[in-house]
Homo-oligomer: A and B are copies of this chain.
Amino acid sequence: MIENPFYTEEVHGPYSFYNLGDFALEGGGVIPNCTLAYNTFGTLNDAKDNVIIIPTWFSGTSKDYESYIGEGRALDPNKYFIIIINQIGNGLSSSPHNSPDPIAMNKFPKVRISDDVRAQHHFITDHFGIEEIALVVGGSMGAQQTYEWAVRFPKMVKRAAPIAGTAKNTVHDYLFTKTLLEAITSDPGWNNGNYTSHKEVAAGLGRHANIWAVMGLSTEFYKQEKWRLFGVESVEAFMHEFLQPLFQAMDPNNLLTMGWKWQHGDVSRMTDGNLREALGRIEAKVFVMPIDEDMFFPPRDCEEEQKFIPNSELRTIHSIAGHFGLFGGEGNYYFDQIDRHLKELLSL
């Protein structure tokens, strides 16, 4: 358990906590006093049928989705009760860096997407008495959790919108994630997970950021100098003032926990490896929303899965920022697409 000022309400708040007690993981470990950090917008109506669940992406927090929410928009807090739930390992919910022994630091157990979704289900049913979800929507690992929700709780989830993510991780994506994790674990400062400050792993976290710079964006993003979208004046500033400091503020073991989870995301674990059968279980109306320039969740991978989902459509989002389009750097150009599709989905 170590201090890291990045994972605080000053940076990512406000948020609340829900304590699950001892939470048994699919892989066999237990997280004692497993805690989910969450944030809500709007009010749960009496029928309890205006619920939107948003799970977080790799390295992200509930804060990242604030730009997706607003009056008059698809995710309208005047109409919906929106719950953003931080995934386990993201630094706000139970994570390697904030857990005491016996699961502190590198002793933190392996967590799966399915563990997150079971934990989230327990939380919203127990705490709010929710039995129906109008929409689950999330980007990247948030999309992985969205798929898991729709397959695992088909009666409960009425609509689902996985953005820039897959139901079953691809081999290529697994290998990409591997390079991200190796950038961290190859740093002698990581010390097999036993550092005393994330700063000791600054070099590895910097290389981790550099790999994101290649795969997270697009060739065209750089050609058109679209790093300006992130408020910087040069590609060097994009690297050294945005990307590297962003990841260097994070906890290495937290990233490794999320990365392993991402690599192993696969709804077909519920159907003995049969992806078609797993996706065929979905009863929700689904808009599958890949980003056209995404280098590791490319539209064709998402489209292949979409065809297995009974009541679904492919709605491809255009963003020159590739996977990092999720950050909303393209502003209204991006959010107008998201809102248009989600409004239509919510009207169905």
Question: Which one of A221, A222, A239 has the greatest number of beta carbons of chain B within 10 Å?
Answer: A222
- In the bound complex, what is the Cα–Cα distance between A127 and B295 (angstroms)? 46
Q: Is A235 within 8 A of B171, CB to CB?
A: yes
Known A-B contacts A170-B222, A171-B222, A222-B170; A179 and B214 likewise in contact (beta carbons under 8 Å): yes
Question: Which one of A186, A219, A220 has the greatest number of beta carbons of chain B within 10 Å?
Answer: A219
Write out the residue numbers on chain B whose beta carbons fall within 8 Å of the beta carbon of A188.
188
* Partner-binding segment picked from A30-38, A156-164, A248-256, A296-304: A296-304
Write out the residue numbers on chain B whose beta carbons fall within 8 Å of the beta carbon of A300.
219-220
Q: Is chain A's interface secondary structure helix, strand, loop, or mixed overall?
A: helix
- In the bound complex, what is the Cα–Cα distance between A187 and B170 (angstroms)? 28
- In the bound complex, what is the Cα–Cα distance between A113 and B215 (angstroms)? 26
Chain B proximity of A198: nearest CB distance (Å): 17
Known A-B contacts A187-B186, A188-B188, A214-B215; A207 and B223 likewise in contact (beta carbons under 8 Å): no
Confirm or deny: A23 has a beta carbon within 8 angstroms of a beta carbon on chain B: no
Pick the residue among B179, B220, B222, B301 that contacts A175 (CB under 8 A): B222
Closest 6 CB pairs of A and B: A171-B222, A172-B219, A172-B222, A176-B214, A175-B213, A182-B207
Q: Can you pick out 18 interface pairs between chain A and chain B where the beta carbons lie within 8 Å of each other?
A: A170-B219, A172-B214, A172-B217, A172-B218, A172-B219, A173-B219, A175-B214, A175-B235, A179-B179, A182-B207, A183-B207, A186-B186, A186-B187, A186-B203, A186-B207, A214-B215, A219-B296, A219-B298
